[in-house]
Amino acid sequence: LSSSDPNDEACLTQLSQTLKDPLNNLQNWTKSTFANPCSGFTSYLPGATCNNGRIYKLSLTNLSLQGSISPFLSNCTNLQSLDLSSNSISGPIPQDLQYLVNLAVLNLSSNRLEGEIPQQLALCAYLNVIDLHDNLLTGQIPQELGLLARLSAFDVSNNKLSGPIPASLGNRSGNLPRFNATSFGGNKDLYGYPLPPMKSKGLSVLAIVGIGLGSGLASLVISFTGVCIWLKITEEKMAAAEEGKIGQFMPDY
């Protein structure tokens, strides 16, 4: 049996300090347990899986966890699967996750994560799954993620991402798995294949013609009304003048 690893202890200690557990679901996550979380393939921590005395998987899903993700999570260098989905975790995705060189599954979906997707995730060459849907992520999708040859599942839907979808992800070639529109939907300012074309925010040609015709018609009505009023006034003035002239020639009785 392998002895406990100091890196795993630092990883778990820092993670427990940045995460908030209002429902006390992680009551066994204590300092004494962090010092020796594994015994071979046996784990003493709920949500953790061990492999030869090292933390192999962390699955803390749907536990109402809050707080943020510690960058010191990168100390769990043997970690191959990280699943913190369906919680209320906020803050950024740490760039330090790039040091999890064995990571194959990253699921941070259904949280309140903010900021940009770190391009450094492309350094995790074994990533098969990146699931970040239903968060508050902003910025563009890093083109570097398209370099992950093993990537078979990718979902960034329902965020606040913007800009073009990298062709290396939206239009993959060869034998690489392809991702459809559901992987990218729900991002108002994200565009490009495989999403449908964005609707034009400008006025359509018909709308412009309609406005032009409407304005022209309104101007014509106003002009015509003005002419009618002017003719009416002129006619009344002429009638009054003629009546005055006739009165001068009429004899007095």
Segment 158-194, tens digit of pLDDT: 999 999 999 999 988 888 888 999 999 999 999 999 9
pTM over 0.95: no
Over residues 186-228, the pLDDT tens digits come to 999 999 999 998 765 454 444 443 444 444 544 544 555 554 5
* pLDDT score, position 220: 46
* pLDDT score, position 75: 96
* pLDDT score, position 5: 84
Q: How confident is the model at residue 248 (pLDDT cuts 50, 70, 90)?
A: very low
Same domain, 185 and 212: no
Same domain, 234 and 155: no
Determine the structural domain holding residue 235 and report its residue range.
Answer: 201-252
Residue 146 is part of a domain; what is its CATH number?
Answer: 3.80.10.10
Same domain, 215 and 157: no
Over residues 121-140, the pLDDT tens digits come to 999 999 999 999 999 999 99
CA distance 195 to 77: 36
Same domain, 180 and 231: no
- Three-class DSSP category at 26: coil
CA distance 18 to 203: 49
Task: Judge whether 133 lies within some domain.
Answer: yes
Residue 243 has pLDDT above 90, yes or no: no
Same domain, 166 and 207: no
Same domain, 141 and 207: no
Number of domains observed in the structure of the chain: 2
Task: Judge whether 125 lies within some domain.
Answer: yes
Residues 6+ apart with CB under 8 A from 159: 132, 133, 134, 135, 136, 137, 138, 186, 187
Task: Judge whether 196 lies within some domain.
Answer: no
Same domain, 133 and 215: no
- Three-class DSSP category at 50: strand
Same domain, 170 and 212: no
CA distance 60 to 28: 13
Same domain, 72 and 164: yes
* pLDDT score, position 213: 42
Same domain, 79 and 101: yes
CA distance 89 to 109: 10
Residue of 1 and 92 predicted with greater confidence = 92
* pLDDT score, position 233: 60
Same domain, 141 and 68: yes
